[in-house]
Amino acid sequence: MLQATPFFPETILPIIIGWTEASPLPPLASKNFQTHLPESCHVLLRILVGPCMDKAGDAALALQLGRLVPDVDCVSITCHASSFTPARKEQFERILPLTVKFREIRVIDEHDGEYIVIKEVLGGFASESYYLTSPADLLPSTITAFGEQNLRVLPPCSAQNFLDNYEIISSQFVGGLKGGNQIQRIGITLDFLPSIAIAFQNLSQHHPNLLELELIEPTTFGLESITSAAAMKLKSALINFLSNSNIAYLTIPLPLITPTIFRSLNQLPDLRSLTISPVKGFCSVPYLCDIARRSVRDFNYIELVDVVANAEDEITQESFALLQTTFPTTIVYQSISR
């Protein structure tokens, strides 16, 4: 993932409105994308707008914002999708303090969907960036209508619905990659495996500024169950795409890692960071140690290798030392549960 030095401004108590005990509060930050506050930010205000927001809540929010200390310069608004309307978005912008240099609006739903718009003002000039996260079977019919610069397509909410309507869903997705704003970061669930080569082709032709690619473990099938021919086709399409792109940050599931893939990745001058994500049923560290014994002994260009291990992984000093011998910049993270 794209990394930045964390910055922690003064944070005042959040304004929480439109939420009930039946609706749990969402996390304060996106779990799909890392977004960072500018270093010029001094005072951060968070606003959480729930599914029960109404006109009375709008009036109460405007009143509370009118009483804020004048030095609030960064605002993060998290709004439930059922309460988010164009009119309410305009109201958010209208009632925010004039001192705000950074404004983040996150719209979330119960299906892990998330839409983020960030507006930042620097030197009198305003710029906006966009982030969309959606399950594959709930993608907007025209993804380019949102102007995404960052897109993450998760496994479908309903595997059956996805499979029954695959041709339509896949066509909309890969076709949507032909236009719109330039995508900088993208995550694609491998549930789109039959169409992944076309998706890579459209990304190559229409998004030359793409820097980060994440391939996400599918849920409609297991990666261990695909045929050797399908696996070879996927790896060939991936290497061909990476060889003709400027990808610097790559995340791929563990089963896709083979000595051949490692050797191919070692020839990519733009690739700086490799993250290997865990898959149920695979112990990451022993698997990678076996690959390491049969693979390259050092990377020419990659500066960092992140290994995310399953909770059941046994990470010994010996196995970690072997990984570091092969990849000196290895960092191993172990998830608590999966």
Per-residue model confidence as pLDDT tens for the chain (338 residues):
444 455 567 777 789 999 988 888 888 888 888 887 877 788 888 999 999 999 999 999 988 887 776 678 889 999 999 999 989 988 888 888 777 888 999 999 888 889 888 888 877 788 888 889 999 999 876 665 555 689 999 999 999 999 999 999 999 999 989 876 689 999 999 999 999 999 999 999 999 999 999 999 999 999 888 998 999 999 999 999 999 999 999 999 988 988 888 888 888 889 989 998 888 777 787 888 787 777 765 666 777 788 887 777 777 777 777 777 767 677 777 655 44
Listed in sequence order, the DSSP H helices in the chain are 55-66, 86-95, 159-164, 166-176, 196-206, 228-243, 259-265, 284-293, 317-326
pLDDT score, position 338: 42
Burial group, residue 123, by CB count within 10 angstroms (0-12, 13-18, 19+): exposed
Rounded CA separation 113/141 (Å):
14
Contacts of 81 (CB under 8 A, 6+ apart): 107, 108, 109, 113
Contacts of 176 (CB under 8 A, 6+ apart): 139, 142, 143, 144
Q: What are 118's two structure tokens?
A: 């960030």
pLDDT score, position 69: 63
pLDDT score, position 147: 55
pLDDT score, position 237: 95
**Full-model pTM:** 0.86
- Which 3 state secondary structure label does DSSP give 234? helix
pLDDT score, position 1: 45
pLDDT score, position 146: 54
pLDDT score, position 126: 81
